[in-house]
Every structure is written in structure tokens, then in C-alpha cells.
Amino acid sequence: MDSHGAVDGWWHHVVAAERLRNPRAVTVQRLLGQAAVLLGSIAVLFAPAIPADAHDSTTTAYAEVTGTGIDVEAVLELEYDLLMKSAWLYAEAYQATGRAEQLRQLELNADAVAAYIVDRFQVSYDDRLCKARPSGPADVSVRSGRAFAVLTFAYDCDGAAGGVHAIFSALFPDGESFVHSTKTIVHYDVGGVQGSAALDAAQSQQEISSTVKDSPTSDGATVTPREQRLVHQVGAFFVLGCEHLLLGADHLLFVLVLLISSRGLRDIVTAASAFTAAHSVTFLLAAVGVVDVLANVVEPLIALSIAAVALLHLVGRGAVGQRTTQLRLPVVFAFGLLHGLGFAGALGIDARWSWELLWSLLAFNMGIEVVQLVLIAVLFPLLMLLRRTSVGDRAIATVAVAAAAIGMIWFLERTVGG
């Protein structure tokens, strides 16, 4: 019998048993339980097809823009294989593995790579486009287990002092069809003005000016340019935090495992609080450079955290349930520390301390928390209804098995498969 037939047979056996015990079971409840079991079974059967990397469908580009006068310099970090594909190079270039070979390919294809970047990442000064040119050798770094090309460009600008710089990014747009919803996280320190921005298709440009006049508000007060930048920056990083959790399959699955392993409101509140406290601490410490852990260590352990908490729930259903229940909060807190490192890796912040940086970090973290709370508020009542059905516990156990299987597959792919 194939795997699909085995699942189907097992389900019919469960339904038959429940009909004997409870012939008056409500149809809606049976359908709800069947749907949950089916979804869990599908997840088990097709887990190998789920990407090990939580963000394969999108990417993030990073830019550090600095300058003390009119001219500026930008250090860009772009996902290596996407860059080579977007520059329309051959497979031997974008499929290259190993730092030495990737550096060789970047050198061989320097003109094509530079042409792509000059077209997609631009700096202007007083509405006049600055002339871009490569500056310095290329390098390769690793972020979240993926190779990133590190490229430096100088931007020569014309005009009188006291003008306005603007940064524009259209890197890896949806139209190229390789990825979607690309974000370019920009950190800048230009002419004494510092800040951060998250550029995307909806907001592709960031102005940098210290000479813009204050703007009046409806009540007669004034808003300084710095306050305007800060408000926009906080809003952008809040949205970025929301999107990061929603698009991060491993973080979402971990939240789901926390939900299914909670038997009541008190359980989910304490577990969510422990997870939030832990990942907030390591996120802030890692984002400002106090803690630095390699992504190829963090990412596999994040995958392992999903399997561990799911298995802890399954073991807790048996005779040793009391002992595993006592371990639950410490385990959730420990793995929360790992997830915080993963959140920080998504921002790629390498800037000196400032209040603007702090507000950006807090806004990003708040976006994560809001989405997490919304998910809990929506899913937990449904989960409680499912538990009241005749097959609720079996359905939840199936989902836990599926989550554990997916977590272990991701763990193996992120370690053995790199």
C-alpha cells in the first residue's frame, strides 16, 4: 500500500471507531477534525518539497551608504546566485559554489555585474544622477546560509554643497521572476545625517537632507526633518517586521507548534511571553553587534527547535507528560534566543549606535510581535474548538508529527545539504 492509501485507511478506521462510540457526533465537528488530519498528513507526505530556507521565495539586499561631502560610497551585499542570474550570466556563474570560485566568477563577469547594479541601485544629488563606478575588489560573505556578493561602488556627484542626496533601489524586482517582494535595507551616514530605510517597489527612494525646512502640522506645531525621517523609518521597519514573520516559514511553524502544544489560555500566554522575551533580547543584542553568531549555526538550530518542541508535545501526551511539561518553558525560552538571532540576521545592520537605530530595531520587533499576537488570537480559539471534537487530539497529534518531520528535514538540509 502506498503512503496515501495508508493515511486514507487509517483515517477511515478512526471515523468508524468514533461512530461506534458517539453516533450522534456533529457533522461539522467531524469535518473539522478530518480537515486537520488531512492537512497534517499532506505536510508529512510533501515535507521534502518544502524549502529548507524559510525565505527562498524572496530576498533582501543590503546597502551601507556613507559620505562626508557631495560624493558618496555604497557597499552592497546581494545574494550571489540571484545577482548572477539577474545579470543574465551562464549557469556556470550563478551555480558556482565555494568562495574561491564565486570570487573568480565575479571577477570574470565584473562588467555585467556592474552594469546591472548601476542600472538598479542609484544615487542622485539635487535631482541629478550621480555617476557610479566600481570601487575596490569584490568579496563574498554568508548570510542565513547563503552566499552574498559584497560590492563597493563610488558615486561621483555634481552640484554645490548643502544639496539633497536621494538613494534609489530597484534590485531584484518582481518582473525578473526569480524572486518577489525584494527589500533593500539601507543604512546611511551622509553629510552627518544618519538613518535607515527599507526600500521596495512601493517605496523605492529615500531622500537624505539636513537642510529641509520644518513642516507645520494641523495644530500649528512644527515637525523637523529628523522627526519626519524617524517617523517614516519607524513605519517602514514595523512593516518589515510584520512581513518577516509572515514570510518566514520556520518562524511561523514554530508559533504553530507553540499553539498546538498549549492546552489552555494560561499555557499559550506563558509560552508566548517566554518566546517573546527571549527573542527580543538576542535580537537587540545581535542587531547592535554585542552578540555575533554565524548564520550556518543559527539556521539549523532554528529548524531543530521546531522538531524539538513538537516532539516534546507528543512525548508529553504519555506517562512522562508531567516531566516534559516542566521542561516546556525552559526549552521554549532557549529556542526563542535562537529565533532572535535569526530575526537580527534578516536586518543585516552594521552601523554604529544611534537613537534612530534603536527605534528601527524596536519597530521591527514590534511588527513581529503584532503578527504573532494576531496569529494567536485567530488560531487559538479555533484550536480550542478542534480539541472539543471527537478526533481533536488525534488531529493535533498528526499536525505535531508533521511539524516535527518538517523541522528535522530542514535541519538536515541546513547541515548536511548546506
Annotated domain spans of the chain: 28-49+245-415, 60-211
Q: In the prediction, which pLDDT does 316 show?
A: 67
Q: In the prediction, which pLDDT does 341 show?
A: 82
The whole-model pTM stands at: 0.63
Q: In the prediction, which pLDDT does 410 show?
A: 87
Asked whether residue 116 carries a pLDDT value surpassing 80, the answer given is yes
Instruction: Please count the CA atoms within 13 angstroms of the CA of 224 that sit on its side-chain side.
Output: 4
Of residues 344 and 185, which shows the higher confidence score? 185
Count CB neighbours of 201 within 10 A: 14
**Given pLDDT bands bounded at 50, 70 and 90, which one contains residue 167?**
very high
Asked whether residue 122 carries a pLDDT value surpassing 60, the answer given is yes
Q: In the prediction, which pLDDT does 117 show?
A: 97
Return the beta strands (E) in 308-374 as ranges: none
**Given pLDDT bands bounded at 50, 70 and 90, which one contains residue 212?**
very low
Write out the DSSP string of 32-88.
HHHHHHHHHHHHHHHGGGS-SSTTTT--EEEEEEEESSS-EEEEEEEEHHHHHHHTT
Q: In the prediction, which pLDDT does 203 show?
A: 84
Q: Among the listed ranges 66-75, 236-245, 297-306, which one has the minimum average pLDDT value?
A: 236-245
Q: In the prediction, which pLDDT does 193 show?
A: 84
- Measured CA to CA, the distance from residue 185 to residue 346 in angstroms comes to 9
If you average pLDDT over residues 216-243, what whole number do you get? 66
Q: In the prediction, which pLDDT does 95 show?
A: 92
Q: In the prediction, which pLDDT does 246 show?
A: 81
Q: Among the listed ranges 29-38, 79-88, 167-176, which one has the minimum average pLDDT value?
A: 29-38
Q: Which amino acid, residue 268?
A: I
Q: Among the listed ranges 18-22, 270-274, 400-404, which one has the minimum average pLDDT value?
A: 18-22
Q: Among the listed ranges 34-43, 86-95, 242-251, which one has the minimum average pLDDT value?
A: 34-43
β-partners of residue 165 are: 125, 208
Asked whether residue 60 carries a pLDDT value surpassing 90, the answer given is no
Q: Which tens digit of pLDDT belongs to each residue from 387-415?
A: 888 888 888 888 889 999 999 998 888 88
Asked whether residue 44 carries a pLDDT value surpassing 60, the answer given is no
Write out the DSSP string of 140-180.
EEEETTEEEEEEEEEEE--S-TT--EEEEE--S-GGGSS-S
- Measured CA to CA, the distance from residue 373 to residue 378 in angstroms comes to 9
Of residues 344 and 9, which shows the higher confidence score? 344
Can you read off the three cell numbers belonging to residue 223?
Answer: 515637525
> Average model confidence (pLDDT) for the chain?
78
Q: Which tens digit of pLDDT belongs to each residue from 274-309?
A: 888 888 888 888 777 777 777 778 888 888 989 988
Can you read off the three cell numbers belonging to residue 164?
Answer: 539633497
Q: In the prediction, which pLDDT does 67 show?
A: 93
If you average pLDDT over residues 334-358, what whole number do you get? 72
Asked whether residue 107 carries a pLDDT value surpassing 90, the answer given is yes
Of residues 163 and 146, which shows the higher confidence score? 163
Q: In the prediction, which pLDDT does 108 show?
A: 96
Confirm if 132 and 122 have CB atoms less than 8 A apart: yes
Q: In the prediction, which pLDDT does 219 show?
A: 52
**Given pLDDT bands bounded at 50, 70 and 90, which one contains residue 213?**
very low
If you average pLDDT over residues 119-129, what whole number do you get? 96
